[in-house]
């Protein structure tokens, strides 16, 4: 596998990482229909933990089967497939080497009481990721939560171990809890802050939600207004989030969020592309559709991102 100049340039941004970690990043960046372009399209399937099986898979019953998701990521030509331990264990042997995998090492569930201190339990390990042939681990952090410092400490330990073993590290940075309003969870100032914290914590790939034009913090509002930071369009807000991740030196992907109509999703993807996003990590909007429809949709998304390659 000869790296493209684009991928080589992106890997140069990870100056302290070992050849093993850079090789695993390269595997993800060179995989699938966006391989070599510097763009990513990842399938995450941790929603069974987060929302329960019926809410996640009943719209498309084939998705109850863990093999379905490996096949979908492979057949659609995606960059990687991310899932909790049990999902990967259920298909790791059958699909070894066919698509890079990311072990989600912590998880929450909707049965727990979440208020000011939402958190997640550690449900996988670096040793599990190595055993299953994963290219990376994934971790969720809730900036703003009263439990955020503990989550940051756990992430630090897991990231250190993963990097020492040559794995890449993906950080879901989702503001939640504490004094944040519901609207504030996706406010542009908060999403940019969360993305920047993920970069500071040492993530190779950063996952955040598409930011809205709402500004949550009064102190931040002054900075945005006095420095004339453009945030009127989604593309402008995405550009600001990417800039907040070391001026684009880190890979930043955006979630697909709740299921939405195809036209709305494709319009959002176009604006993410225009804002310089590395790509998307789309779960429910993918696997809740029949496989044929999902692959057709993903082909259109890939086409949108290739226009920026």
Annotated catalytic residue, options 174, 193, 209, 305: 174
In the annotation, is 163 catalytic? Answer: no
Q: How many CB atoms within 10 Å of residue 118?
A: 21
Q: Which residue has the tokens 């960059």?
A: 79
In the annotation, is 193 catalytic? Answer: no
d(CA 205, CA 201): 11
d(CA 139, CA 171): 5
**Phi, psi dihedral angles at 212 (to 5 degrees):** -90, 175
What positions carry a catalytic annotation?
Answer: 174, 207
């Amino acid at each position: 596998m000869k790296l493209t100049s684009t991928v080589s340039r992106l890997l140069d941004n990870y100056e302290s990482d070992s050849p093993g970690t850079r090789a695993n990043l390269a595997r993800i960046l060179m995989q699938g229909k966006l391989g070599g372009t510097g763009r990513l399209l990842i399938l995450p399937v941790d929603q069974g933990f987060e929302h329960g099986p019926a809410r996640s898979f009943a719209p498309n019953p084939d998705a109850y089967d863990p093999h379905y998701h490996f096949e979908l990521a492979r057949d659609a030509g995606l960059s990687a497939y991310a899932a909790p331990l049990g999902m990967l264990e259920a298909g790791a042997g059958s699909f070894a080497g066919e698509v890079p995998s990311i072990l989600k090492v912590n998880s929450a569930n909707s049965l727990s009481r979440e208020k000011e201190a939402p958190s997640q339990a550690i449900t996988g390990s670096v040793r599990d990721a190595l055993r299953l042939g994963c290219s990376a681990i994934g971790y969720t952090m809730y900036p703003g939560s009263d439990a955020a410092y503990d989550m940051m400490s756990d992430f630090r330990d897991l990231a250190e171990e993963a990097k020492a073993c040559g794995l890449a590290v993906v950080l879901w940075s989702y503001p939640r809890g504490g004094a944040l309003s519901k609207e504030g969870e996706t406010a542009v100032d908060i999403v940019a802050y969360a993305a920047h914290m993920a970069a500071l914590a040492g993530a190779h790939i950063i996952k955040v939600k598409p930011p809205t034009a709402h500004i949550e913090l009064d102190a931040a509002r002054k900075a945005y207004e006095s420095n004339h930071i453009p945030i009127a369009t989604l593309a402008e807000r995405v550009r600001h989030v990417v800039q907040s991740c070391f001026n684009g030196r880190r890979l930043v992907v955006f979630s697909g969020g709740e299921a939405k109509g195809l036209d709305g999703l494709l319009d959002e993807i176009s604006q993410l592309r225009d804002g310089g996003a590395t790509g998307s990590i789309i779960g429910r909007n993918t696997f809740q559709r029949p496989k044929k429809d999902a692959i057709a949709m993903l082909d259109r998304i890939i086409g949108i991102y290739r226009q920026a390659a």
